[in-house]
Amino acid sequence: MPELPEVETIVRYLQLGERGHFAIPGRSIIDSKLLWERTLAEPSPSAFKKKIIGQTIHKVDRRGKFIQIHLSGLVLLIHLRMSGDMRIENDHKKDKELPLQPHDRLVLYLDNNLRVAFNDTRKFGRVWLVDDPLKVTGQLGPEPLDDSLTPETFHQRLHQHHRQIKPLLMDQHFLAGMGNIYTDEALFLARLHPCTPSDQLTPQQSDTLLTAIRNVLREGIQQNGSSIDWVYRGGNFQNTFKVYQRTGEACSTCSTPIERITVGQRGTHFCPVCQTLDLWNP
DNA sequence: CACGTCACCTGCGTGC
DNA sequence: TGCACGCAGGTGACGT
């Protein structure tokens, strides 16, 4: 489910709640419930409970695909992996607690009767409670939407590797936030074959690629993310996919059927005519 | 260093 | 209807 735009959508939801209700900044945490132990990467379940109770939520932001909930001196980091989601709701009326949902893995109880649930069907998601978020996010590459990443730097970084462009873009050490959907979409916009060696891009192609990446991410954020599971949140990006999961459909540019191949063990969608692999390009 | 394979998990769509 | 199979938005540990 979540790539950068979906994580950004969730972060905004945690910051603002819905229609002005359910915002979590300013609240304090009065209890926690861990329903699946392996969800918690760090620290131990008992230390987690002890440390998190009494903490105040100061702000929520994002680094790559990590949600960062800044507390009083500690930071709660959440990675949604494939199927994670966050939900804020009214916990109880009087003494009766609302039943939890299937696949809820961790629940935080706030001081105003709200509860925040981390729900994760496939159990791949992870949560860390640490003093220094860089312990977890320190090795991430640059934020693609940050202006400090210039086209020149991006081009240089591409040329520091000799790798297929798609797996490189999805490598979180190289760039933080790209996933399978947005990478396929960006490569289509930039007219680059997913297997193009990263050090063969011309400065012009690198520039076009960075612009394409920023365009798909911004569009994704504007549409509140992509997935089917996100419809309730207003996510709409799936309706704008040009290649992802459109195998066999006509390319929007040249009408050639979109192809699906496997690159780096991931399903990869592209137009074989618009996205040619020219290994001899100047 | 680049790349392949497997592991971690559950659920859904497809085709027999 | 039942069932096997392939596939899924991510990542990290290994082996070559």
Q: Is A214 a catalytic residue?
A: no
Identify the sign of the CA torsion A118, A119, A125, A126. positive
Rounded, the Å distance between the CA of A156 and C1' of B11 is 42
Nucleotides of B under 7 A from a protein CB: 1-6, 8-11
Tell me how far apart the alpha carbons of residues A29 and A35 are, in angstroms, rounded to a whole number. 17
A280 vs A34 pLDDT, higher one: A34
The separation, in Å, between residue A20 CA and nucleotide B7 C1' comes to 42
Of A239, A245, A238, the C-alpha closest to A266 is A245
Secondary structure E strands in chain A? 29-34, 40-42, 59-63, 66-70, 75-79, 84-90, 92-93, 96-97, 104-110, 114-120, 126-130, 259-263, 266-270
Distance CA A27, CA A116 (A): 11
Q: Please give the Cα distance from A12 to A14 (Å, whole number).
A: 5
- Is A65 considered catalytic here? yes
Distance in Å from the first CA to the final CA of chain A = 38
Q: So what's the pLDDT on residue A233?
A: 62
Tell if A173 CB is < 7 Å from nucleic strand B. Answer: no
Q: How many other C-beta atoms are found inside a 10 Å radius of the C-beta of residue A188?
A: 26
> What is the length of chain A?
282
Kind plus residue range of the DSSP H or E element containing A97: strand A96-97
What band does A278 get if pLDDT is binned at 50, 70 and 90?
confident
- 3-state secondary structure (DSSP) of residue A111: coil
What's residue A177's pLDDT?
98
Query: Mean pLDDT, to the nearest integer, of A176-200?
Result: 98
Contact flag, residue A159 CB and nucleic strand B, below 7 A:
no
**Taking residues A154-173, what's their average pLDDT?**
98
A56 touches strand B (CB under 7 A): no
Is the preceding peptide bond at A45 cis, omega within 30 degrees of 0?
no
A219 is catalytic: no
Find all residues with CB under 8 Å of A105, minimum gap 6, and list them. Answer: A34, A35, A36, A39, A118, A119, A120, A123, A125
Quote the CA–CA distance of A194 and A261 in Å, as a whole number. 10
- SS3 state at A202: coil
Q: Is A266 a catalytic residue?
A: yes
> Which amino acid, residue A120?
D
Which amino acid does the sequence have at A55?
Q
- What is the rounded average pLDDT of the residues A165-183? 98
Give, in Å, how far the C1' of B11 lies from the CA of A119.
15
pLDDT at A118 over 70: yes
Query: Tell me, in Å, how far CA of A120 is from C1' of C8?
Result: 14
Q: Is the CB of A124 under 7 A from strand B?
A: yes
Amino acid at A12: R
pLDDT digits (tens, 9 = 90+) for A58-82: 999 999 999 999 999 999 999 999 9
For the CA of A126 and the C1' of C12, the distance in angstroms is: 13
H or E segment to which residue A61 belongs: strand A59-63
Exactly one of A27, A51, A62, A65 is catalytic; name it.
A65
Under the banding of pLDDT at 50, 70 and 90, the label for residue A227 is low
